[in-house]
Amino acid sequence: MDFGLTSEQEAIREAVGQICARFDDAYWLKRDREGGFPQDFYDALAKEGWLGICTSEAQGGAGLGITEAAIMMRTIAESGAGMSGASAVHINIFGLKPVDIYGTEEQKNRMIRPMAEGREKACFAVTEPNTGLNTTQLKLRAEKRGSVYHVSGQKVWISTAQVADRILLLARTTPLEEVKKATHGLSLFYTKFDRERIRAREIEKMGRKCVDSNELFFDDFQIPEEDLIGEEGRGFEYILQGMNPERILIAAEAVGLGMAALRKASQYARERVVFNRPIGQNQGIQHPLAKSWCELEAAWLMVMRAAWLYDNGKPCGEAANAAKYLAGEAGFEACQTAVMTHGGFGYAKEYHVERYLREVMVPRIAPISPQLVLSFIAERVLGMPKSY
Ligand SMILES: Cc1cc2nc3c(=O)[nH]c(=O)nc-3n(C[C@H](O)[C@H](O)[C@H](O)COP(=O)(O)OP(=O)(O)OC[C@H]3O[C@@H](n4cnc5c(N)ncnc54)[C@H](O)[C@@H]3O)c2cc1C
């Protein structure tokens, strides 16, 4: 068993860290206040080829694994970019995995390369307002007439839809009443985001202002049949391919953000003097921070284990879900502890940790809630009856 990073993995951390260092706390504070996609940050990573880290070499990427991508995403979040930085590039890293596996050669060449090179942005539209985590009940309808699918309905919480050129869309092609299993009859499309036919209304939200999330309204949105991925009706099965890597990456981001919070908090605790000594000399301040560090390190081991399983072609659902759960909770605990360590100043924007606390709620809630992860583990690992 080897717990060390390879020299290539160390080099990834170093190189990505150097790019991130050009985008300091003041940059992310401004993005948090004003919103506006962090295009210069996105371009800086794209220019050095980092958006294609997981993309195969045939499509212009580096052909590395989810392990390397997790190291990169942790580094981004840990730099202080947090979820604002990580979510700006997240979908480019893993998002088109289903196209890579199930797409035709023509689709791969047309769709994957522009994303890996950062020339195109995409959004991933699964969640619907009246379906929640029960994905098989999705209602957004895509009806085929001739060679074109006509889409009408609604999605919600779709990130980066304000800036996306393309949309990866899960829609129902056969009504729920007509399929044998609820997982059947959903289809996956990757197509142009047509603003004439899709209205994106930005949701005002708690944090990560610079990476928008939206309600989408589809009004006879038309998709040519060449933009259907794989076979009609098997979209649910296809998106499962992307779910484990997504959980691994978001877990890595939560660990990074938690570590950023600990860095700020321990620096403050060393410098802030109250009762004639640094507050960090009190065990009441030290222990919660040290405990958070232990929890983040343990979560990171689970992230690396899940990534190793995935990269070695082994089943990784349990580990990926456990990593996402542990990292989300540990990241939250670290950010909350960092705010409390700063006392009143923790509530001031200029100390940054309140932004981290608002942002760390994202990897806690999405793409799956802690409750649903625990229900999955209870059923699949502990053999209890399915509860959801
Ligand atoms: C910032 C942000 C960005 C997002 N970006 C995207 C995106 O780009 N694309 C996309 O498709 N989606 C996106 N989402 C949506 C996200 O994946 C969902 O919000 C998440 O999956 C939870 O679904 P829901 O909000 O409908 O919660 P619900 O399903 O309504 O659940 C609400 C609560 O009830 C609990 N619950 C529900 N059923 C059970 C049960 N059986 N047992 C125990 N507890 C239960 C849940 O755990 C949760 O706590 C984003 C969300 C956020 C906040």
List the residue whose alpha carbon is closest to atom 43 of ligand 1: 371
Query: Among residues 100, 116, 132, which one ends one of the domains?
Result: 116
| Residue appearing with tokens 């190291």 | 71
Are 85 and 136 within one domain? Answer: no
Domain boundary among 171, 204, 234: 234
pLDDT tens digits for 305-345?
999 999 999 999 999 999 999 999 999 999 999 999 999 99
**Same domain, yes or no, for 70 and 97?**
yes
More confident residue, 150 or 240: 150
C-alpha to C-alpha distance for 210 and 219, rounded to whole angstroms: 27
144 exposed, middle or buried (CB, 10 Å; 0-12, 13-18, 19+)? middle
* Torsion, CA 289, CA 291, CA 297, CA 303, rounded to 10: -110
From the alpha carbon of 123, which atom of ligand 1 is closest?
8
Q: What is the DSSP string of 313-325?
A: T---HHHHHHHHH
The per-residue pLDDT for range 165-177, each reduced to its tens digit, is 999 999 999 999 9
How many other β-carbons are positioned within 10 Å of the β-carbon of residue 175? 11
State the closest ligand 1 atom to the C-alpha of 131, by its place in the atom list counted from 1: 26
Q: Which domain-ending residue is among 116, 148, 175?
A: 116
CA atoms within 13 A on the CB side of 121: 19
The answer to whether the CB of 151 falls within 8 A of the CB of 171 is yes
The CATH code of the domain that includes 306 is 1.20.140.10
User: What are the CA-CA distances from residue 83 to residues 76, 265, 266, 380 (Å)?
Assistant: 9, 18, 21, 30
Residues 93 and 74 in one domain: yes
Q: Ligand 1 pocket: which of 91, 127, 134, 324 to mutate (most atoms <8 Å of CB)?
A: 127
Q: Is residue 330 part of a domain?
A: yes
Asked whether residue 242 falls in the same domain as residue 376, the answer is: yes
- pLDDT, one tens digit per residue, over 219-259 is 999 999 999 999 999 999 999 989 999 999 999 999 999 99
0.95 surpassed by pTM: yes
Residue 154 lies in a domain: yes
- Say which CATH number the domain at 19 has: 1.10.540.10
- Residues in contact with ligand 1 by the CB-under-6-Å rule are 123-127, 132-133, 157-159, 213, 362, 365-369, 371-372, 375, 387-388
